[in-house]
Amino acid sequence: MILDIAVDLDYEMPEPTDLILQIEAAFLPDQQVWNPGISMNATEHFNRIEGEDGIGERIMLRTTGNYSCSYRARVEINRTEQAIEPLEFVPIHQLPSDAVRYLMPSRYCPSDQMQSFVAAEFGDSMGGERIAAMRDWINTRYQYVPGSSGPQTTAIDTFIQRQGVCRDFAHVLIALARASAIPARFVSVYAPYVDPQDFHAVVEVYLGGSWHLIDATGMARANQIVRIGVGQDAAEVPFLSSFGPAFLQTQTVNVNVVG
């Protein structure tokens, strides 16, 4: 699949502010980025550093005041979709070092509180089958309701309320997976067919010796997903972090299928 991505952000910032921005499609073997372009006004400083686990880049910058930014790219995705069910659980003593932190509870995914629920509800399956069961459990019980959650909403809030947006669905699946000793990370992505159009969020679980994409909302299939970056949860890979007051004026995300 080939996608055209167009993002425009506009923020009011009363004073010079430090920002961390991560909105560019990552350069990865399974997604080829053509003609990427990013432009922004009014930055005092600007630097790029590697994203978590070497996926994508963070842009570290300091604004001189109000901030606007445009990003354009065409991305070709060449990713074989794979059934999740047959993938095998990796015992924790065989995990690679960089997967271990994705077992730990995090800001939005307090997985330690969900062990009893997971044991009771999903105790009779393992590995990929368990993850598929969790995905289906979320899908059949939760409603996708734009506006129903906010920046403080955790996987626990969503678990109780049974509604949320993509990042909330992702947080619940991550928390459930980690409570099963399956490493799970948050993936900030672009995808078509997200309604209303916006940044999207999915999950990667570590099974059978590698990471595998799953969309807990069921909106996107693995070969329709453009990865931006990964992290423990939305707190570690936000598209924008601000270290001072920042008021959103407009934000548009367009992802169009062109091939």
Question: Nearest 5°: phi and psi at 174?
Answer: -60, -45
DSSP β-ladder status, 57-63 and 18-21: antiparallel
Please list every residue from 9 through 48 that binds its own copies, using CB under 8 A.
18, 20, 45-47
Classified as helix, coil or strand, 1 is: coil
Work out how close the CB of 117 gets to its own copies at its nearest, in angstroms, rounded to a whole number. Answer: 6
State the Cα–Cα distance between residues 151 and 234, nearest whole angstrom: 9
What residues does 57 pair with on adjacent strands? 50
116 binds its own copies (CB under 8 A): yes
Residue type, 84: I
Work out how close the CB of 5 gets to its own copies at its nearest, in angstroms, rounded to a whole number. Answer: 24
Question: 239, exposed or middle or buried, with CB in 10 Å at 0-12, 13-18, 19+?
Answer: buried
Per CB under 8 A, the list member of 112, 126, 209, 252 interacting with its own copies is 112
125 binds its own copies (CB under 8 A): no
* Closest to its own copies by CB, 92 or 258: 92
Work out how close the CB of 197 gets to its own copies at its nearest, in angstroms, rounded to a whole number. Answer: 21
Q: With beta carbons less than 8 A apart as the criterion, state whether 216 and 139 touch.
A: yes
From 108-116, 193-201, 217-225, 250-258, give the range in contact with its own copies by CB under 8 A: 108-116
Task: Please work out, in degrees rounded to the nearest 5, the angle formed at the alpha carbon of residue 23 by the alpha carbons of 19 and 25.
Answer: 145
Residue with tokens 């407009």: 250
Sheet with 43-50, strands from edge to edge, namely: 43-50, 57-63, 18-21, 240-242
Per CB under 8 A, the list member of 107, 139, 198, 208 interacting with its own copies is 107
Work out how close the CB of 29 gets to its own copies at its nearest, in angstroms, rounded to a whole number. Answer: 21
**Tokens, residue 45:** 């400083």
Work out how close the CB of 89 gets to its own copies at its nearest, in angstroms, rounded to a whole number. Answer: 11
Per CB under 8 A, the list member of 8, 28, 62, 132 interacting with its own copies is 62
Which residues of the shown chain bind its own copies in the complex (CB under 8 A)?
Answer: 18, 20, 45-47, 49-50, 52, 58, 60-62, 91-97, 100-101, 103-107, 110, 112-117, 119-120, 141, 143, 150-152, 156-157, 159-163, 179-181, 231-232, 235-236, 238, 241, 243-245
